[in-house]
Structure 1
Amino acid sequence: MPTIQEPKLISGNANLPLANAIARRMSLHRGVNVGLVDARVERFNDGEIFVEVFENVRGEDMFIIQPTSNPANDNLMELLIMCDALRRSSAARITAVIPYFGYARQDRRSKARTPITSKLVANMLVGAGIERVLTMDLHAAQIQGFFDIPVDNLYASPVFALDLKTQFAGHLDDLMIVSPDVGGVARARDLAKRIDAPLSIVDKRREKAGVVAEMTVIGDVTDKTCVIVDDICDTAGTLCKAAEVLMENGAKEVHSYITHGVLSGPAVERVTKSVMKSLVITDSIQPTDAVKAADNIRIVPTAPVFAQAILNIWHGTSVSSLFEAETLSPIYDGMYAAE
């Protein structure tokens, strides 16, 4: 087998800007040009997806960068078909870099006669020939157990912690980290510990999916700058309602830090008209023009941490080291200064 000289990146159409940014960051780290493998991912007139790889990938360590965001089914099929093309081209190893793992919210049977679609997706990925998965902030940690291959789950909270320390320098004592529901307490607690801030919870009760009947704040948020932390913001209804409830309970102002900005339907309009001072998301999902134009939505990059994680996987070194601010701060080139 030929000696593997460099990791090779290939991307579908889901988030090309992120894939190019990861390639640029890896070029800086390696001191050599790391570009995306030349390929075409197209659709026939009837919607079928076709993939053709124009470079030799025999014996190479391949990384497919493809979030399975909207349109989830098309992007998932692109990922599966790219994997099949690489496997049939004798790639040595195929790692799927999935910044946003679609179908993650269907991780259990919520009622009778419903599927566990995230397990089905895991089976499809493994069946296609993927040997490792790299993702960020899985909606449910147990999804890692749906795979019989290694899954590296990165966390946005170390990046968010660096951002908060920069944005609220000198005012960290005023911050209150808020989980928008009981299920997200572990995620919010992790961020709270990183910046040494107290934790509050907004307890919500739903009458049916997508409709919140009642919200109660657990904890004293009076005169606090509240920071809502969650993994996914879809239609933003719950998020905006939580911000209103916090303000009604005496909060000074409300900000939100959300890993995956799905922001479908009326989400952007709701956020821009809400009482939230700012919504911070990552670029795990390619932002729309409306998202980029919104005055109170800000995007933090994930390319530095994904590039380093890919290099660590390629080198066979620790990925969990990227969970610490001391490791992340230099990766972000002084963008955020660790205390």
Structure 2
Amino acid sequence: MRNTLIFSGTSCPALTGKICENLGMAPAEAELSQFSNVCYFGPVLAASASASGETSVRILTSVREKDVFVVQSGSPKINDTIMELLIMISACKGGSANKITAVLPYFPYSRQSKKKSHRGAITARMLANLLHVAGVKHVITVDLHASQMQGFFKCPVDNLHAEPLIARWIRRNVPNWKDAVVVSKNAGGTKRVTSLADALKLNFGIVTTDRRRAGTNMTASMIMNQLDGFEEPPSVNGNGNRHSWAMSDDQDSTRSQDGNGAAPTRHIVADSQGSPRSSHGPPLRTNGLTRSPFTRALHTPSQTSPIDELGEDEEEAQDYNDERAQVVTHGRLVQGHIVPDDYPSGSQSEAGGEGSQSYQATEAEDTMAMSHASSFFAPEPHALGGSGDAEPSSDEEDEKLQDPKLEHMITLVGDVKNRFVLIVDDMIDKPSSWIAAAETVVKRGHAKKVYCMATHGVFGGDCLEQLQACECIDQIIVTNSFPISERKARDASKLVILDLSFLLSEAIRRNHYGESISPLFQHIVD
């Protein structure tokens, strides 16, 4: 391409070399170095030999009236990488470049795209402003952590997607991929998961975690079970008494009658976790919410069902319809790992002795359970307004999972039995949430094989080593948007790295010639 120069930062020289090779050109020459920090303490002049010195950039070729592309991604030395990028852009601007485009396969500080506290900073917006001040006229990136970040920039942004590349790998390498299930490991990634599932025409599921402190006996998951029509017999304490109380139903105008002509009494019972349950009759209504129409209530032979009183034709109409029953599986998490249902915890020990499943329910605790149920649907206002942050970051999620004082109830929604599971997110940084989701679909959902897929393989700390050691994870698929050391890649036999160079080189070519980049978002079937 004429009048085009591509410069490489120190974070991804290999990726830049592949991009230039695809375009039939060589990387432009530039000298990148660091000065040692010099500190003056009174009469003593000391030179610091630290690696984080002052960044120096010298452009070794003419950029006057040229179309310049600077390729720089995030790296373990993220702050040095950012300063190097800004100085390179400023140097090209000072050299009278016609247009400067920053190519950022992984956009740094993308997880800090919103204020989380009163004195918090929106760091991603600050970095966008720094790029504008340095002289950037266009930005090319891949899979921003939050798509609304494009509004932070004062220049056009091309947010490319690695989804077509990942979907192509799935079609080629996952056996019986048409029967696979795409799973989101948290509520914040459902949009990304449904997009891939729609592209491949696959079913999808979701894994969510609900926190509960050791010593309490109420969880939101149990309340959701009761609301979805899962009915259980009332619990019985050591004296043989049932823990229940009557609750009138003003919303139902008619009730089924038993053999004596008396209307059956609806009871709310406290289960082993202290959560309210409905023992008989229609599902409990809380805050005007009823059971989902896509979920069928489960009836035992000892329970009275309204279907028993219907005629043969009406009963057949009730049994055969187009509704699909949801498959909901629950599990317990202790320090990020699935444990058996009878695993001793602080809440069980305080309730009825160590290992005991019985719970001495009282009227005051039952009232607290109902209060907890209502507060679950009407959360307390957040300090910054609204109902708080509904999508916690991966760092916050992993820190909570590792807290030994907290026990989590993990819920899998979707049928993954004897199927291949594709757990998808935008990046892999910490391992806890990935391992918890993989253990859930394998140990609770009885999945056949698990693939962990993400665009950016950040792999902070010993993340890659822990994922490699997890028996429930079969393969880890990422792209080369974030530099991964050769030693880590060599030691991780489960790791598969997909090449983004063709996607980025085509985006650069189309950007230079003023062509549309819409074809880069399309899925091409082999």
Q: Do they superpose with TM above 0.5?
A: yes
For 2:439 and 2:54, locate their aligned partners in 1 and report how far apart those are by CA, in whole Å. Answer: 45
Summarize deviations over 1:19-61 as a string: whole Å, max 9, x none: 101111111xxxxxx1111011111122000000110110000
Please name the residue that 1:334 is paired with: none
For 2:482 and 2:124, locate their aligned partners in 1 and report how far apart those are by CA, in whole Å. Answer: 18
Please name the residue that 1:303 is paired with: 501
Summarize deviations over 1:217-269 as a string: whole Å, max 9, x none: 11121111000111111122211221111112211111011100000111111
Give 1:171-186 correspondences, 5 Å limit: 171-186=176-191
For 1:113 and 1:244, locate their aligned partners in 2 and report how far apart those are by CA, in whole Å. Answer: 37
Please name the residue that 1:291 is paired with: 488
Please name the residue that 1:45 is paired with: 36
Q: Does 1:211 align with 2:407?
A: no
For 1:297 and 1:13, locate their aligned partners in 2 and report how far apart those are by CA, in whole Å. Answer: 23
Contact 2:7–2:27 under 8 Å retained in 1: yes
Question: Which amino acid is 1:320 matched to?
Answer: S
Contact 1:268–1:290 under 8 Å retained in 2: no
SS in 1 for 2:22: helix
Question: Which amino acid is 2:180 matched to?
Answer: L
For 2:6 and 2:154, locate their aligned partners in 1 and report how far apart those are by CA, in whole Å. Answer: 23
For 2:409 and 2:120, locate their aligned partners in 1 and report how far apart those are by CA, in whole Å. Answer: 26
Question: Which amino acid is 2:437 matched to?
Answer: A
Question: Which amino acid is 2:111 matched to?
Answer: R
Q: Does 1:261 align with 2:424?
A: no
Question: Which amino acid is 1:211 matched to?
Answer: K
Contact 1:177–1:228 under 8 Å retained in 2: yes
For 1:156 and 1:206, locate their aligned partners in 2 and report how far apart those are by CA, in whole Å. Answer: 33
Please name the residue that 1:316 is paired with: 514
Please name the residue that 2:138 is paired with: 132
For 1:113 and 1:131, locate their aligned partners in 2 and report how far apart those are by CA, in whole Å. Answer: 31
Please name the residue that 1:197 is paired with: 202
Q: Equivalent of 2:17, from 17, 20, 30?
A: 20
Question: Which amino acid is 1:297 matched to?
Answer: L
Please name the residue that 1:231 is paired with: 426
SS in 2 for 1:203: strand
**Which residues of structure 2 form unaligned runs of 5+?**
38-52, 213-395, 402-407
- Cα distance change, pair 86–205 in 1 and its aligned pair in 2 (3 A): farther
Bigger mean CA offset, 238-247 vs 277-286? 238-247
Please name the residue that 1:188 is paired with: 193
For 1:204 and 1:43, locate their aligned partners in 2 and report how far apart those are by CA, in whole Å. Answer: 46
For 2:107 and 2:183, locate their aligned partners in 1 and report how far apart those are by CA, in whole Å. Answer: 24
For 1:214 and 1:135, locate their aligned partners in 2 and report how far apart those are by CA, in whole Å. Answer: 36
Q: What TM-score does the superposition give when structure 2 sets the normalisation length?
A: 0.59
For 2:156 and 2:133, locate their aligned partners in 1 and report how far apart those are by CA, in whole Å. Answer: 14
Give 1:141-180 correspondences, 5 Å limit: 141-168=147-174, 171-180=176-185
Identical-pair percentage: 33
Q: Equivalent of 1:243, from 434, 438, 453?
A: 438
Which of 1 and 2 has greater Rg? 2
Shift of 1:290: 3.6
Shift of 1:112: 2.3
SS in 1 for 2:424: strand
Give 1:320-339 correspondences, 5 Å limit: 320-326=518-524, 338-339=525-526
Contact 2:177–2:420 under 8 Å retained in 1: no
Question: Which amino acid is 1:19 matched to?
Answer: T
Bigger mean CA offset, 289-298 vs 261-270? 289-298
SS in 1 for 2:197: helix
Question: Which amino acid is 1:179 matched to?
Answer: S
For 1:164 and 1:98, locate their aligned partners in 2 and report how far apart those are by CA, in whole Å. Answer: 25
Shift of 1:206: 6.3
Shift of 1:7: 2.2
Question: Which amino acid is 2:2 matched to?
Answer: Q
Q: What TM-score does the superposition give when structure 1 sets the normalisation length?
A: 0.91
Question: Which amino acid is 1:183 matched to?
Answer: G
For 2:210 and 2:188, locate their aligned partners in 1 and report how far apart those are by CA, in whole Å. Answer: 12
Provide the aligned C-alpha RMSD in A.
Answer: 1.4
Contact 1:261–1:281 under 8 Å retained in 2: yes
SS in 2 for 1:258: strand
Q: Equivalent of 2:476, from 254, 259, 279?
A: 279
Shift of 1:205: 4.2
Please name the residue that 1:89 is paired with: 95
Summarize deviations over 1:43-84 as a string: whole Å, max 9, x none: 112200000011011000000000123211110111000000
Please name the residue that 1:35 is paired with: 26
